[in-house]
Structure 1
Amino acid sequence: GRTLTYTVELKETEDLEVDLNSLRNYMKNKIYDKPMRALQCLEVVLAAPCHNTAIRAGRSFFKRSEPGKAFDLNDGYEALVGLYQTFVLGDRPFVNVDISHKSFPKAMPIIEYIEQYQRQKIDKSTNLDYRRYDIESFLKGMNIIYDPPACLASAPRVFRVNGLTKFPASSLKFELDGKQTTVADYFRSRKYNLMYPNLLCLHVGPPLKNIYLPIELCRIEDGQALNRKDGANQVAAMIKYAATSTNERKAKIIHLLEYFKHNLDPTISHFGIRLENDFIVVHTRTLNAPQVEYKNNNLASVRNGSWRMDRMQFFEPKPKPHKWAILHGKINYMSVVDFQGMIIQQSRTVNVCLNQKADIRNYRDERELDSHFQDFKKNQFDLVFVIIPNSGPFYDVVKQKAELQHGILTQCIKEITVLRKCNLQCIGNVLLKVNSKLNGINHKLKDDPRFLLKNAMFLGADVTHPSPDQREIPSVVGVAASHDPFGASYNMQYRLQRSALEEIEDMESITLEHFRVYHQFRKSYPEHIVYYRDGVSDGQFPKIKNEELRGISAACSKLRINPKICCVIVVKRHHTRFFPNGAPSQYNKFNNVDPGTVVDRTIVHPNEMQFFMVSHQSIQGTAKPTRYNVIENTGNLDIDLLQQLTYNLCHMFPRCNRAVSYPAPAYLAHLAAARGRVYLTGCTKFRTPKEEYAKRLIVPEFMKTNPM
């Protein structure tokens, strides 16, 4: 093999010396900016014992599984368990440790991958045209090891895969010594006959170079931490694998800490750092759950994070009868008729006003879908149920046509749900969505004299980013705002902006539009704005304060109003977990803390308004608390009242009868951003975000009558 010499130049971006005194200053004084550089320095030190024995991915170190003991996620992936570690600052410095789960491609010959997971038997006549897309999607961007035949007397080499070639090795030509030759003939001239000459080759190395390798001589490299989104099969298998009780999770963390032996590492010792053996004990408070109010002052009590709606009706459905229709594809007509009957039956129970009969129509393709939507719009239909295939992008197509082209309200439901899962409980859950889409109110919370926020708007925002391998796709902004007295009805705005930009660029115009809708419903402007901002990392807090809050203030100035503003950052991507004493029980099989548990001491900075809260009952696995950081509070809202208000808003998500893990405004903003992402489906070439957004404006009338 060749010997290569590289020259590596290291360039320091800031001063060579890191001032660790900044940590002490931050702990003593009320300094807004965290000393991120000093924290990063300590994290580098903390990682010292992990590099040689584990695979690094972000702040997590994954221990390689023993042969045959890895958890198979199917489709060529396996799950590894790792230790997450980072420094955090509470009333003293802490090391936050937790377990991480990540999928890794299995180290195996590519031929074996194709046979095992693509279910394609390989022989001399096999070509991969039929499986090309799936195989290429799996291998693209992955490192493979090329094992030259023994007759070439070359060492194995690692390459990155660009994709599959258009032609098989038997006909794929390249230039060698001024002559054209095929890949198969090249190896034959080197005394090696390819076993599978009809297979496509891998295009590897620099994309502009023509380096082609036969698949049969390549294998997948071990321990690759890929930055790609897992498929639906991997996600489902991973959730099942990772769902453990608090007791099991704690035991796994302790096992990994013992494996890495931080306190025996000379680098860590040199910096004078020593980790305690025990977890920190924190004091908790449990907030009282609110009572949920339905029509005629009927109240439902919340128990273990959920409540029952027995014989109760929605708080405020829209009174006029709604014209509605059902569109279906290949599903049996009588199944659709049965579905219609269950919708009518359950709508009477919960008091959603639908006409006694739906207009049932069949569609065969997208063109017919267009025609039906156009006719429904012309005849002023209020709602269309669309029964969609169980897989594929048809949901995205429906939403694009209905909301961007025609301005018609749709409720999608999968064929398998209509055929196999369609009971009254399922229909009840669907009608929760339908009533809120029709601008009705499913429930409110019983009035509490402590919360006298007159004319309050609850605002939520989120920005979703494309995966690292899709940077050409814009980021999507979703902002939801309440426009009723109860924080129950929301309208939404979405925008497109530069990929990976954290702060919302267009906050002023978004806020002005929300003010317009609020005034339309309330005949006044808000006196209080409680803004829950999701999807922000710690280092971005100053940007949110300087950019987004400035945009909200600019919108207020244009309308000459001066509402009190409270901005709360909602942080879900963290690794703090609570491990209560005791054992799992029949009603709490994962041994989680109770919904409403709050921690606002010890592990939070004493000079910041910050708290952790578990507002929901985890269905599986260890409950993840949400962390809340208050970065603006011009109305001086009391922290205890803000915690209770936040907990109450977790019970206001309109699509289920249970408390969710973070407040409804932020949750709905996430859904708004997800809908914006749906509008991008099918587009492969993107212009500027503003140009792309201009092509995808929601029909204005639809936005006015069906704001969420």
Structure 2
Amino acid sequence: MPRIAYHYDVSIVPERPKKFYRNAFEEFRTKHLNGAIAAFDGRKSCYTVDKLQNTTGEVQVVDRHGRTLRYTLTIKETDNSEVELSSLRSYMNDKIYDKPMRALQCLEVVLAAPCHSTSIRAGRSFFKNSNNGERYELGDGYEALVGLYQSFVLGDRPFVNVDVSHKSFPIAMNMIEYLERFVLRSKINAQSMLGNTYQLIQFIKGINIVYEAPASFATAPRIYKVNGLSPQPANEQKFQLDDKTMTVIEYFRSRNYNLKYPKLHCLHVGPPAKNIYLPIELCRIEEGQALNRKDGANQVSEMIRFAATSTDERKRKIMDLLKYFHHNTDPTISRFGIRISSDFITVNSRLLTAPQLEYRNSKFAFPSNGAWRMDNCQFLKPTPKAHKWAILHCEGARLLYNKVCEFEKMVINQCRDVNVSLEPRAEIRTFKDERNLDDHFKELKLNRFDLVFVIIPSRGATYEVIKQKAELQYGILTQCIKHNNVDRRLNAQLVGNILLKVNSKLNGINHKLKDDPCTQLTNVMYLGADVTHPSPDQRDIPSVVGVAASHDVYGGSFNMQYRLQCGAGGRAAEEILDMESIVTEHLRVYKEHQKRYPEHIIYYRDGVSDGQFMKIKNLELKGIYSACAKLGIKPKMCCIIVVKRHHTRFFPKGQPHPRNKFNNVEPGTVVDRTIVHPNEMQFFMVSHQSIQGTAKPTRYNVIENTGNLDINLLQQLTYNLCHMFPRCNRSVSYPAPAYLAHLAAARGRVYIYGSRLYRTPEEEYKRRLIVPDFLKTNPMYFV
């Protein structure tokens, strides 16, 4: 690898269409740069190892429909044009804590060079199109494609991190075929009409279609973005043309084309302010569209079925993709002096011992393979009194009364087994609709009921509406259960899982850790934080902050705070802006329960990318320190970033165990050498048994450690806390404080569901305050 590369700005005129920038740059490189080897990022930058002159030139590009596009390109040296590639040889020796980011950015562009011409790019992944790659239909007009994820990572030397990716794409087909297969589910004729268009609009909004005009128009196909459907069908939809009003069908007839399906709506395309309407029969879905939208529930379940493979199968897929892209034969990669080895790196791992879990009367459970049974065990700390409880179910949901009674009986029987104190009978009520729920919640609250089981109907009152009414209006504890689970899947295991949550919600503690290394750390408050952002198609919704903090000696009881926030210019803000007031409240609750403030705060922060660690340090930790300073305390602080969004996977050597059909590493596996940064306190851990597919390790970065806690202690403590999640008798993939913070943020999102948000996030939050007495009485209501 050369010592230095050069960075150039690339400007291209006109700015649109951007999809041909790469073709234009290739023409420019050959024609005006004498074929110099250069890695172009597809937008504004290129990198070379040979110095170039500032150059301007014109090029022509022919698109696949035969149209000629002209671009003018200019490349000029940036102000700081030299990129020190040599920093990738020295970062591990020179104790440079700042990662050599510019060198990494350069090499990411170089590494992508062989992939663009034969694949579809989405983020850092390159997907083989459905003609020459593996594909799987997900239903509703989508297909899953397989791609290669690739990036540079810094361990004790630079590595290329490769993995298999799966993503859904709209299937390229004629719009008529789409309607026949997925919307109308029948053959279309001239009399066919669309009827309910909700599903169709959800699918087509924002996708690109190719409009192929009739032969009589003598024009090349054009690509448009779809806004939605026309208000009327083609035979009724009117528009203005040269001061004359005509329908779409009349316009095409005047140009010697008779529409075959005049009763179908048209597609509204192009700029939303313009009324451009295209007949559906002349449009087809463009291939290879990487959409920036959230997948539906059906797509997600089908995708999991397709993508969940064993480690051996995953490795085979990755190796096949590497062969397909031929990185080592690419002239750009060779010119930068890079060669990728032909197999994965081997690392040493350690296996941590799973903690023993203590239940009531000093009975113990012993986790095996990431799970344990509660045989003959009762919850460590049961709910403190016999609670009044009720069951609400929807009278129009066709749920038989005897099914509700059977559910009541199973709850009572299992409460006796695990020592949850509920009164021997529930009050069973029916509700008609969402408005009727208000009457019930109001009356149950007045009559001092402690818990309400709400059986959610398949249609009608939603989970979000129930939680909003119960927690923001009336302050009553609810446990929701799906109608289908009571009607068809009612069994002891289902009820047992519900009681895990119920005990926690009613201030019980399910279990604690025996011989927990935190016994060396007396008086600890565990803090977890997460920020959830809206999906790209939900721009009017703020980010939701969730912070959970322990207030007991075991790390088993938590309370939560949530906030709504936006960053500058309305963009999503990853860092928590109101950390000082949040932590002040958590410290107040801790003091209320423990009669003292904590000596240690161990803070697990979820959902942060590598480039934002310093922001967390400068903003969030500063907020925590400010909260402590105002209270006159100085606890020792340990901040551990929990990173799940990475593509490192572990493939064990040797034959799989019969009980481990996906051949994953065992829960408790830790890797803290070779693939971690040599100058950072960092480790990977697989703390759970993957139910299906390849287990994803969680990466932990320790960015603050004023108590100088040992790395071995932190690893064991982190693994132990993965056994403290109250909703299941399994070790989860990351520690309970961070998991509970995720639930807190999810509950905050529930509170803004179905609302149009017109005020600032702070004002909207103040309109959605949790009932204070309820928050104090049942701090773990959100599990």
For the criterion TM > 0.5, the same-fold answer is yes
Residue number in structure 2 paired with 1:129:
195
Residue number in structure 2 paired with 1:513:
585
Q: In 2 relative to 1, CA 592–69 (structure 1 residues): closer, same or farther, beyond 3 Å?
A: closer
Displacement of 1:691: 1.6
Does residue 560 of structure 1 match 2:632?
yes
Does residue 373 of structure 1 match 2:373?
no
Deviations 1:336-390 (A, max 9, x none): 1111011101111100000011111000101110110011111111100000023
Bigger shift: residues 189-198 or 640-649? 189-198
Residue number in structure 2 paired with 1:384:
452
The whole-number CA distance in structure 1 between the counterparts of 2:517 and 2:678 is 29
Residue 770 of structure 2 aligns to a residue whose secondary structure is coil
Aligned pair partner of 1:483 in 537, 551, 554? 551
Residue number in structure 2 paired with 1:443:
511
Structure 2 letter corresponding to 1:288: T
The whole-number CA distance in structure 2 between the counterparts of 1:230 and 1:79 is 11
Residue number in structure 1 paired with 2:405:
337
Q: In 2 relative to 1, CA 529–249 (structure 1 residues): closer, same or farther, beyond 3 Å?
A: same
Residue 223 of structure 1 aligns to a residue whose secondary structure is coil
| Residue correspondence of structure 1 range 136-151 to structure 2 within 5 A | 136-151=201-216
Does residue 42 of structure 1 match 2:107?
yes
Deviations 1:2-43 (A, max 9, x none): 866556677988633323244345322333332222211100
| Residue correspondence of structure 1 range 406-417 to structure 2 within 5 A | 406-417=474-485
Structure 2 letter corresponding to 1:28: N
Aligned pair partner of 1:430 in 495, 498, 501? 498
Structure 1 letter corresponding to 2:723: H
Displacement of 1:684: 3.2
Bigger shift: residues 119-128 or 247-256? 119-128
Aligned pair partner of 1:51 in 116, 139, 158? 116
Aligned pair partner of 2:762 in 690, 699, 708? 690
Bigger shift: residues 113-122 or 354-363? 113-122
| Residue correspondence of structure 1 range 281-300 to structure 2 within 5 A | 281-300=346-365
Question: How big is the alpha-carbon RMSD for the aligned residues of Structure 1 and Structure 2?
Answer: 1.6
Structure 1 letter corresponding to 2:409: G
Residue number in structure 1 paired with 2:278:
213
Does residue 504 of structure 1 match 2:573?
no
Displacement of 1:67: 7.1
Residue number in structure 2 paired with 1:652:
724
The whole-number CA distance in structure 2 between the counterparts of 1:393 and 1:642 is 45
Residue 161 of structure 2 aligns to a residue whose secondary structure is strand
Displacement of 1:281: 0.6
Residue 83 of structure 2 aligns to a residue whose secondary structure is coil
Residue 646 of structure 1 aligns to a residue whose secondary structure is helix
The whole-number CA distance in structure 2 between the counterparts of 1:68 and 1:636 is 51
Aligned pair partner of 1:363 in 422, 425, 431? 431
The whole-number CA distance in structure 2 between the counterparts of 1:67 and 1:261 is 15
Aligned pair partner of 1:181 in 246, 255, 258? 246
Does residue 31 of structure 1 match 2:96?
yes
Aligned pair partner of 2:524 in 456, 460, 465? 456
Structure 2 letter corresponding to 1:360: I
Q: In 2 relative to 1, CA 89–113 (structure 1 residues): closer, same or farther, beyond 3 Å?
A: same
Determine if contact 2:433/2:461 at 8 Å carries over to the other structure.
no
Displacement of 1:68: 9.9
Aligned pair partner of 2:655 in 565, 574, 583? 583
Does residue 403 of structure 1 match 2:475?
no
Structure 1 letter corresponding to 2:131: E
Residue number in structure 2 paired with 1:94:
159
The whole-number CA distance in structure 2 between the counterparts of 1:108 and 1:134 is 17
Displacement of 1:200: 1.0
Determine if contact 2:509/2:557 at 8 Å carries over to the other structure.
yes
Structure 1 letter corresponding to 2:426: A
Deviations 1:74-103 (A, max 9, x none): 010001110000000000000000000001
Residue 588 of structure 1 aligns to a residue whose secondary structure is coil
Deviations 1:575-629 (A, max 9, x none): 0000111223321101110100000000001111000000000110111000000
Residue number in structure 2 paired with 1:160:
225
Determine if contact 2:517/2:713 at 8 Å carries over to the other structure.
no
Deviations 1:367-414 (A, max 9, x none): 110110011111111100000023677001100100111111000001
Q: In 2 relative to 1, CA 598–126 (structure 1 residues): closer, same or farther, beyond 3 Å?
A: same
Displacement of 1:64: 1.6
Structure 2 unaligned regions, length at least 5: 1-65
The whole-number CA distance in structure 1 between the counterparts of 2:68 and 2:149 is 37
The whole-number CA distance in structure 2 between the counterparts of 1:11 and 1:416 is 64
Determine if contact 1:451/1:641 at 8 Å carries over to the other structure.
no
Aligned pair partner of 1:418 in 486, 502, 518? 486
Determine if contact 1:33/1:542 at 8 Å carries over to the other structure.
no
Residue 17 of structure 1 aligns to a residue whose secondary structure is strand
Bigger shift: residues 361-370 or 466-475? 466-475
Structure 2 letter corresponding to 1:379: N
Q: TM-score, normalised to structure 1's length?
A: 0.98
Residue number in structure 2 paired with 1:201:
266
Does residue 350 of structure 1 match 2:350?
no
Q: TM-score, normalised to structure 2's length?
A: 0.88
Q: In 2 relative to 1, CA 116–12 (structure 1 residues): closer, same or farther, beyond 3 Å?
A: farther
The whole-number CA distance in structure 2 between the counterparts of 1:3 and 1:54 is 23
Q: In 2 relative to 1, CA 4–587 (structure 1 residues): closer, same or farther, beyond 3 Å?
A: closer
Residue number in structure 2 paired with 1:325:
390
Determine if contact 1:650/1:662 at 8 Å carries over to the other structure.
yes
Percent of aligned positions that are identical: 70
Structure 2 letter corresponding to 1:593: V
Q: How many residues align?
A: 707
Q: In 2 relative to 1, CA 448–695 (structure 1 residues): closer, same or farther, beyond 3 Å?
A: closer
The whole-number CA distance in structure 1 between the counterparts of 2:212 and 2:116 is 27
Q: In 2 relative to 1, CA 8–601 (structure 1 residues): closer, same or farther, beyond 3 Å?
A: same
Aligned pair partner of 1:119 in 184, 188, 196? 184
The whole-number CA distance in structure 1 between the counterparts of 2:775 and 2:78 is 48
The whole-number CA distance in structure 2 between the counterparts of 1:10 and 1:71 is 42
The whole-number CA distance in structure 2 between the counterparts of 1:40 and 1:308 is 49
Residue number in structure 2 paired with 1:84:
149
The whole-number CA distance in structure 2 between the counterparts of 1:266 and 1:238 is 36
Determine if contact 1:462/1:533 at 8 Å carries over to the other structure.
yes
Q: In 2 relative to 1, CA 529–68 (structure 1 residues): closer, same or farther, beyond 3 Å?
A: closer
Bigger shift: residues 442-451 or 371-380? 442-451
Q: In 2 relative to 1, CA 313–623 (structure 1 residues): closer, same or farther, beyond 3 Å?
A: same
The whole-number CA distance in structure 2 between the counterparts of 1:594 and 1:180 is 71
Residue number in structure 1 paired with 2:535:
467
Residue number in structure 1 paired with 2:327:
262
Structure 1 letter corresponding to 2:647: H
Bigger shift: residues 613-622 or 163-172? 163-172
Q: In 2 relative to 1, CA 390–584 (structure 1 residues): closer, same or farther, beyond 3 Å?
A: farther
The whole-number CA distance in structure 2 between the counterparts of 1:198 and 1:373 is 49
The whole-number CA distance in structure 1 between the counterparts of 2:460 and 2:691 is 28
Residue 314 of structure 1 aligns to a residue whose secondary structure is coil
Displacement of 1:572: 0.3
Q: In 2 relative to 1, CA 80–4 (structure 1 residues): closer, same or farther, beyond 3 Å?
A: closer
Residue 28 of structure 1 aligns to a residue whose secondary structure is coil
Displacement of 1:123: 2.2
The whole-number CA distance in structure 1 between the counterparts of 2:765 and 2:338 is 51
Residue 586 of structure 2 aligns to a residue whose secondary structure is helix
